[in-house]
Amino acid sequence: MTETDRQTEEKIFDAAAEVFVEKGMDGARMQDIADRAMINKSLLHYYYRTKDKLFDAVFQKLAGKVFAKFAPVFSENLTLEEKLRFFYKEHISFMNENPRLPAFILNEINRNPDLIKRILKNIDFEKFWIMLETQHKAELETYNITRETIPQLMSTIAAISVFPFAARGVLETILENAGMQFGSYIEERKEFAADFVIGALRSRINKKQ
């Protein structure tokens, strides 16, 4: 099977993913997708009956991929601090290869909050906490991390890696003014992020409230 013989459905999906990520659901045009897939517009409707269904297929797959990227950290046999370094290295690298994905997903969820529920409803956060607790009981105590502080902590950890991509346009302009490149900022960030969070965690030692 040659390059051009790729299955039509796959060609459509890839083209749709490109256009949707670039323009968003509202800004995307079926004709644009058809053009990029180098097929007739009617074929879109033959494989995915409506724009909504096509968007849904694309979103579910891409969003699933992104959220899955948070998981493998827990299968590694590392200390909490090592896991943090591992996470930022992996996660920022992944996002750097798909730089528009975070903003796309966050924005579409903002447009239609139901989109995310299907993806997250399968995740058992209680189980996740138990796993964390059994793997890192001592460390959690040391850092004074409890079930109650998890949301603040986790959202902060995610914020530090995701935000630069969600706010890429702003950041690029500011960095440019300072004579820096977004690319090297991102490279730096892998280490900076881990150092920053680990520093914040260590400062919690012996500060039970």
Q: For the chain, percent helix, then strand, then coil, each to nearest 5?
A: 75, 0, 25
Structure tokens at 108: 């579409």
Comparing CB distances to DNA, the nearer of 32 and 133 is: 32
Which positions touch a copy of itself (CB under 8 A)? Answer: 23-24, 26-27, 100, 103, 106-107, 109-111, 113, 115-117, 120, 123, 125, 149-152, 155-156, 158-160, 162-164, 166-175, 177-178, 180, 185, 188-189, 192-193, 196-204
| Residue 43, binding choice from a copy of itself, DNA, none, Cβ under 5 to 8 Å by partner class | DNA
Partner interacting with residue 78 (select from DNA, a copy of itself, none; CB below 5-8 Å by kind): none
φ, ψ (nearest 5 deg) of residue 178:
-95, 10
CB of 156 to a copy of itself, least distance (A): 6
Quick one: what does residue 137 bind among DNA, a copy of itself, none, with the CB cut-off 5 to 8 Å set by partner type?
none
Burial (Cβ within 10 Å: 0-12, 13-18, ≥19) of residue 84: buried
Q: Which does residue 29 touch among DNA, a copy of itself, none (CB within 5 to 8 A, set by kind)?
A: DNA
180 neighbors 189 (Cβ within 8 angstroms): no
For DNA, the closer CB: 30 or 180: 30
Please give the DSSP secondary-structure letter assigned to residue 39: S
CB of 9 or CB of 81, closer to a copy of itself: 81
- DSSP notation for 48-92: SSSHHHHHHHHHHHHHHHHHHTTSGGGGS---HHHHHHHHHHHHH
Residue ranges that bind DNA, judged by CB under 7 A: 1-2, 4-5, 8, 28-31, 39-43, 45-46, 49-52
